[in-house]
Amino acid sequence: MEKPSGVWVVAACFNEQAVISQFIERVLAVSEVERLVLIDDGSRDDTVAHICAWQQRQQKLGDPAPVTLLELTRNFGKEAAMLAGLDHVNGHCGAAVLIDSDLQHPPELIQTMVEHWHDGAEVVSAVRDDSDQESFLKIASASWFYRVFNALVDTIQLRDGAGDQLILLNAFAVEALITMRESSRFFKGLLPWTGFRSVEVPYQRVTRLAGQTAWSPFKLFTYAIDGIFSFSAIPLQVWTALGVVVSLVSLLYASMIALRTVLFGIDLPGYASLMTAVLFLGGIQLIGIGVLGNYIGRIYVEVKGRPHYFIRAIHNS
């Protein structure tokens, strides 16, 4: 049986009705693209209707485009939507391109990425250049996250500016990614963990043409914390070490008090110092319990083994 060799594009959609038609046309304009697979991640606007209407227009023109829409039953999150797309294309293509559908990442770059794949690259990652049009605060916070992640995780290192918004995977990388079914998925870490060699292609991300991003500062912070806890147990080790240090300091302080009492007698303890010590130790304990609870919560979610997504319908043109 001949091995598939075409390039399929996988794009998650969430409230992209204003740009989705233009996105489809620009992706299909790339000559190397064999099929486009869209995953609607529970959009609250008319994204699904716009895609279906576009498919129907092409059918009426007698030129049905190679577009497939996977309509999820609700919003499962981008990671689950990408997994649904990779599950669908696995075994049907020689390479899959993951791209966001908001047109901040140029679909025309797919042509260059495919050329690197033809030259033997296993993974081709689009990396933002220094002239990115995002705000200074967002760029600075992202850079801070990469530094913290790389300091805490010793198994992999993340490249500052690299992401999952535009990336090409060969068939072996696709198969490897879908075999990892953990509930807390951090794609930016899962891909380098597989060990496939990556070629980087620089690009400049542009301002959104329409709509608003679904990634609020809180969601970005939660996603960053999720990535660190998914790949490192160092937070647990840090609080263990901190507990040892606090215990030693407490023991030393208790010894000083005992010695002072023996030498100079008992004096009236200070209320302020006592409350400071109690509140400090209480805060340390609560933070430590929170870190431990984060890991336990992941175990709780993982052992339930629920599916990552459900598909309501598949629309083919």
Which is more confidently placed, 302 or 250? 302
Same domain membership, residue 256 and residue 163 = no
CA 114 to each of CA 8, 38, 109: distance values in angstroms, whole numbers, following the listed order: 11, 19, 9
> Is 224 within a domain?
no
| Better-scored residue on pLDDT, 253 or 19 | 19
Produce one character per residue of 248-279: b if its CB has 16 or more CB atoms within 10 Å, e if not: eeeeeeeeeeeeeeeeeeeeeeeeeeeeeeee
Q: Is residue 253 part of a domain?
A: yes
High-pLDDT (> 70) share of the chain, %: 87
Does residue 119 sit in the same domain as residue 31?
yes
Length of the chain: 317
> The pTM is what?
0.81
- Distance (Å, rounded) from C-alpha 232 to C-alpha 234? 5
For residue 310, is it within any domain? yes
pLDDT at 173: 96
Can you say whether residue 219 is alpha, beta or left, with left for phi > 0 and alpha for psi between -120 and 50 degrees?
alpha
pLDDT attached to residue 3: 67
Are residues 162 and 280 located together in one domain of the fold? no
CA atoms of 37 and 24, how far apart (whole Å): 10
Q: Are residues 299 and 163 in the same domain?
A: no
Tell which wins on pLDDT, 1 or 160.
160
DSSP state of 3: P
Query: Is residue 247 predicted with pLDDT exceeding 70?
Result: yes
**Same-domain check for residues 191 and 247:** no
Give the model's confidence band at 70: pLDDT under 50 very low, under 70 low, under 90 confident, else very high: very high
Query: Does one domain contain both 30 and 71?
Result: yes
- Within a domain: residue 124? yes
69 and 12 share one domain: yes
Domain carrying residue 282: 234-304
| Contact of 68 with 314, CB cutoff 8 Å | yes
In a domain, 126, yes or no: yes
Helix 217-231 vs helix 187-194: crossing angle, to nearest 10: 30
Same-domain pairing of 36 and 157: yes
For residue 165, give the CATH number of its domain.
Answer: 3.90.550.10
Q: For 298-314, write each residue's pLDDT tens digit.
A: 899 899 989 999 999 99
Q: Is the pLDDT of residue 271 over 60?
A: no
Is 1 part of any domain? no
Tally the domains of the chain: 2
Q: Where do the H-state alpha helices sit in the chain? A: 20-28, 47-60, 78-89, 109-118, 136-152, 171-179, 187-194, 217-231, 234-264, 271-304
**pLDDT the model gives residue 236:** 79
Same domain, 64 and 162: yes
Co-location of 203 and 243 in the same domain: no
Q: Is residue 87 part of a domain?
A: yes
Which DSSP category does 42 fall into? -
CB atoms within 10 A of CB 35: 18
Same-domain status, 73 and 139: yes
158 part of a folded domain: yes
For residue range 140-171, what is the model confidence (pLDDT) as tens digits?
777 788 888 888 888 888 877 666 789 999 99
DSSP string, 84-149: HHHHHHTTT-SEEEEE-TTSSS-TTHHHHHHHHHHTT-SEEEEEE-TT--S-HHHHHHHHHHHHHH
pLDDT band at 213 (very low <50, low <70, confident <90, very high): low
Closest CA to 116 of 108, 107, 125: 125
| Report for 62-71, 131-140, 268-277: range of highest mean pLDDT | 62-71
pLDDT digits (tens, 9 = 90+) for 15-38: 999 999 999 999 999 999 999 999
312 lies in the same domain as 298: no
Residue 266: the pLDDT is 62
